[in-house]
Amino acid sequence: MTDAQTAITLLKETYAASIVGMTSIHGVPRLQVKKDAVPQVAHFLHSHPNLHGTLSLLWAVDHRPREARYELYYLFTLSERQEWLLLCTDLHGEDRLFPSITPHIHAAKWYEREIRDMFGLIPIGHPDMRRLVRHEHWPKGSHPLKKCFRWDAVLGRVQGEKKFRHIEGEGVFEVAVGPIHAGIIEVGHFRFSVAGEPIMQLELHHFWKHRGVEKLFEQQQLTEAVPLAERVSGDTTMGHSLAYCQAVETLMQIEVPRRARYLRSFFLELERLYNHLGDVGAICTDVAYSLPHAHCGRMKEQIMQLNDRLTGSRFLRGVNCVGGVGTDLTNEQLTRTIAELDGLEPDFTELEKIAFANSTLKDRVETTGGLSNSIAWDHAVMGVVGRASGIDRDIRRDHPFAAYDELPPNVVLYRYGDVRARMRVRIDEIHESLRLIREIRRCIPQGPIVAQPTGRPASGTWALSAVEGWRGEILYMVMAGENGGIHRCKVRDPSFVNWPAIQSAVLGNIIPDFPVINKSFNMSYAGNDL
């Protein structure tokens, strides 16, 4: 019996009266649950020792004008086999209230606040009802993802002030950092509460440059929105565009050619490679160790120039398209790529040895910014940050896509959860990406690189897609609209999940260590604020 089947059996035994229907969405079981019972059912999935479900995604859909209802979806990943299970419930007519699951599942906190801001739906019982995405200068009553809200509406500005949580007591001081920073960095506000040197509290205030990405998706045709997905987070062009394409391909029942799947894995690993190289160097920079930073920057630039030669884009734009890829590689290009990477790996290995022989580096990164396995799981942390804290999860292995069903990765796992562990995960994944690229070169088949769509999905049908980007798990939910358009596109970058966890990782550390802790997480501001 699978985890999902076990969960369904247990739920039927315990909450039979609360479950009003059961279907399947492209192989993912979906349970329709009475609204008031959602917290209990969700808590059961989360806490049951045989299920240990993680809340991976929570989103809302406004079905207007076709139907007068909102729909809420809760996607759980069950721990043993990493299987998915969906809960859903409806809000009919003018109902805008739904029970919060945040008191039971901490990972729901930002999701529910986001739904409140973007749809005007109120999570009753939520412990923090402050605005999240809509800053205080947004006019009241403006909820951009409601269908009655025009995509090109111009909002006036109102006066407002952010309400921060304060710690009071003798010797407690607040230190504000941002939202404008020195150097090339996106806007983000960090407010530290300290007593002496140790950090007692960190509160984040992001979402300063909301771009309305999910609203813009709703103005697109299914087959024409890839350029928008590429720009969700510029350093994750391949990851986001691939996740979008896979969702549309599932909706349109497109069988992607085998060679295209291999090429997708090839370019995705190149994206992982250049970003991890940059991060390893940047972590060293934040502890004033400039030698690795200089050499990692050189190697990152080498990969980005390689990207440009292969695709015409340093950031791999234009590679993915619905049905496959728009860029093929010759045998000569593949051979030259492998030769170049074969020259880079021993260079990086030598640098790795030099770096970890440096006592200053080890002193600054070991035990700094620790994130325990229990806290990481409670926040549903993923990707590099999660695997550094012992979260054994990688979509390439757990839900294989592209060519990873034929070429599975070796998942890198550490348990210390500090800056060093997050650095080690990146270093080991660099070597693993190099191995995978060689395997792809050895096994890549001949054949077409794109399959053309043959029809349109019915309005209201939808599909999920998951991709293991270099930061972690990227999720897309794409729902078809009328005449080949998009009714709803939910985007979740791993940064949206991992940002809140840094507030726990910094506790007990000192403010001068925050830059290196923050860099070891390295979340995207753009992917977080859509």
For 217-267, the pLDDT digits (tens) are 999 999 999 999 999 999 999 999 999 999 999 999 999 999 999 999 999
Whether pTM exceeds 0.85: yes
Do 45 and 183 belong to one domain? Answer: no
Residues 317 and 308: their CA atoms lie apart, in Å, by 10
Q: Residue 169: is it exposed, middle or buried by C-beta count within 10 angstroms (0-12/13-18/19+)?
A: exposed
Do 491 and 351 belong to one domain? Answer: yes
Q: Is 161 within the bounds of a domain? A: no
Is the pLDDT confidence value at 4 over 90? no
What's the mean pLDDT in 198-212?
A: 91
185 lies in which domain range?
172-205
Residues 406 and 401: their CA atoms lie apart, in Å, by 10
In tens, the pLDDT along 502-527 reads 999 999 999 999 999 999 999 999 99
Q: Is 436 within the bounds of a domain? A: yes
Alpha helix ranges (H) inside 286-404: 290-311, 331-356, 359-365, 373-378, 383-388, 395-398
Do 272 and 332 belong to one domain? Answer: yes
Q: Is 133 within the bounds of a domain? A: no
Q: Where are the beta strands (DSSP E) in 167-223?
A: 172-177, 189-195, 199-205
- Domain end call among 90, 124, 158: 124
- The pLDDT value given to residue 161: 81
Do 223 and 199 belong to one domain? Answer: no
What's the mean pLDDT in 429-444?
A: 97
Q: Do the Cβ atoms of 23 and 83 come closer than 8 Å?
A: no
Is the pLDDT confidence value at 102 over 90? yes
- The pLDDT value given to residue 1: 59
- Domain end call among 157, 188, 205: 205
Q: Is 134 within the bounds of a domain? A: no
CATH no. for residue 58? 3.30.460.80
- Hey, is 163 helix, strand or coil? coil
User: Cα torsion at 318, 324, 326, 331 (round to 10°)?
Assistant: 120
H/E stretch holding 321: strand 320-321
Q: Is 218 within the bounds of a domain? A: yes
Residues 232 and 395: their CA atoms lie apart, in Å, by 20
- The pLDDT value given to residue 154: 87
Residue type, 395: I
- Hey, is 522 helix, strand or coil? coil
pLDDT-wise least confident of 89-98, 148-157, 457-466? 148-157
Cα–Cα distances in angstroms (integers) from residue 401 to residues 38, 80, 247, 262, 263, in the given order: 31, 19, 11, 10, 12
> Nearest 5°: CA angle at 182, between 179 and 185?
65
Looking at per-residue pLDDT, the higher value among 245 and 1 belongs to 245
Q: Is 252 within the bounds of a domain? A: yes
Do 401 and 360 belong to one domain? Answer: yes
- The pLDDT value given to residue 453: 85
Q: Is 160 within the bounds of a domain? A: no
| Count of structural domains, the chain | 3
Do 183 and 265 belong to one domain? Answer: no
Do 389 and 241 belong to one domain? Answer: yes
Do 191 and 331 belong to one domain? Answer: no
- Domain end call among 88, 108, 124: 124
SS3 of 388-431: the string is HCCCCCCHHHHCCCCCCCCCCCCCCCCCCCCHHHHHHHHHHHHH
Do 310 and 440 belong to one domain? Answer: yes
What's the mean pLDDT in 200-213?
A: 91
Do 199 and 217 belong to one domain? Answer: no
pLDDT bracket for residue 177 (50, 70, 90): confident
Give the position of tokens 């074969």: 342
C-beta atoms surrounding 64 within 10 Å: 12
Do 476 and 430 belong to one domain? Answer: yes
CATH no. for residue 487? 1.10.645.10
Q: Residue 47: which of 413, 374, 446, 390 has the closest Cα?
A: 374
What's the mean pLDDT in 4-26?
A: 89
Residues 365 and 513: their CA atoms lie apart, in Å, by 9
In tens, the pLDDT along 364-422 reads 999 999 999 999 999 999 999 999 999 999 999 999 999 999 999 999 999 999 999 99
Do 190 and 242 belong to one domain? Answer: no
Q: How many percent of the chain have pLDDT more than 90?
A: 81
- The pLDDT value given to residue 7: 86
Q: Is 468 within the bounds of a domain? A: yes
